[in-house]
A = this chain, B = another copy of it.
């Protein structure tokens, strides 16, 4: 098995009703990689950082046996930085500051060893960069999972449409699904989005769970009800990383197995929101993950006889 994750490795600064994080480790590839590392080692990361990115943060990847040869350091450059503030309900947030820095010149060149990878996660990046990664693969991967956002729908529609044609699983939130499809009903939105390319669609609804559409079926996983959501940053990337990590490890991309992958992804995301940044997600062990999956079983599974 092999898994390649392309996305941001960044600094975040978060303000929540519980406090301020200061400048901490963030980025889509960071969360997705750490989540996937619960299932496998040698995950290949492709990203770009500045000289200001601390070795200590890079060590966290190495500690989880991740392959970081694909993270390019730009001499004299500064790492992508995002600062945001969450509202009291923790469901909405304002961006206070975005410094693209080295991300503006991200032009990924895959190490030769990465070009035969079977499972590919394209984190939320400009569609042109996502396409560039796809074009460098020697063979079409067994499974391509992609994340995107409303910004690219507003600003790079044509490029986005081109990438979507080459993707198996798209992960977006409910508002983005509505924008992408022009349909309010998520069932209708899924039908339209399938016609754009992705045979599978995961609609992330935050505290309201996630829907998986594909092969004419629908599967739903709730978010675990928690006493406190401390910091939602990275929960979507953690979910996606857990999803593809589970699939890459099991090498089974059937719809039945994708259901399991959605559950494991949801379980990992439930840890992510319990602390600032990667604090919690960087240190999970298998026992903790299994216990969380057991909670999902209790939350959702039932036995029923039909009425006569």
Residues on A lying within 8 angstroms of B by beta carbon are: 38-39, 88-89, 184-188, 205, 208-209, 211, 217-220, 222, 225-229, 256, 259-260, 263-264, 286, 289-290, 293-294, 297-304, 306-308
Nearest-neighbour CB distance to chain B for A21, whole angstroms, equals: 20
A29 and B30 alpha carbons, distance in the complex (Å): 53
- Report the copy number of this chain in the oligomer: 2
User: Do A218 and B299 touch (CB < 8 A)?
Assistant: yes
User: Do A302 and B227 touch (CB < 8 A)?
Assistant: no
User: Do A225 and B220 touch (CB < 8 A)?
Assistant: yes
- Partner of A226 from the list B185, B228, B299, B308 (CB cut-off 8 Å) is B185
User: Do A89 and B184 touch (CB < 8 A)?
Assistant: yes
User: Do B302 and A290 touch (CB < 8 A)?
Assistant: no
A130 and B19 alpha carbons, distance in the complex (Å): 44
- Partner of A185 from the list B205, B217, B220, B228 (CB cut-off 8 Å) is B228
A-B CB proximity, top 9 nearest: A290-B306, A208-B208, A259-B302, A220-B222, A187-B227, A260-B304, A187-B225, A220-B299, A286-B307
Check A187/B226 contact, CB under 8 A, given A205-B208, A304-B260.
yes
- Partner of A298 from the list B218, B222, B264, B301 (CB cut-off 8 Å) is B218
A185 closest partner in B (C-beta): B227
User: Do A219 and B304 touch (CB < 8 A)?
Assistant: no
A289 closest partner in B (C-beta): B307
Q: List 27 A-B contacts (CB under 8 A).
A: A39-B307, A88-B184, A89-B184, A185-B226, A185-B227, A185-B228, A185-B229, A187-B225, A208-B208, A208-B209, A209-B209, A209-B222, A211-B225, A217-B298, A218-B299, A219-B299, A220-B222, A256-B302, A260-B304, A264-B304, A286-B307, A289-B307, A290-B306, A290-B307, A297-B304, A300-B301, A300-B302
Contacts of A89 in B (CB 8 A): 184
- Partner of A222 from the list B39, B185, B222, B306 (CB cut-off 8 Å) is B222
User: Do B187 and A302 touch (CB < 8 A)?
Assistant: no
- Partner of A186 from the list B205, B220, B225 (CB cut-off 8 Å) is B225
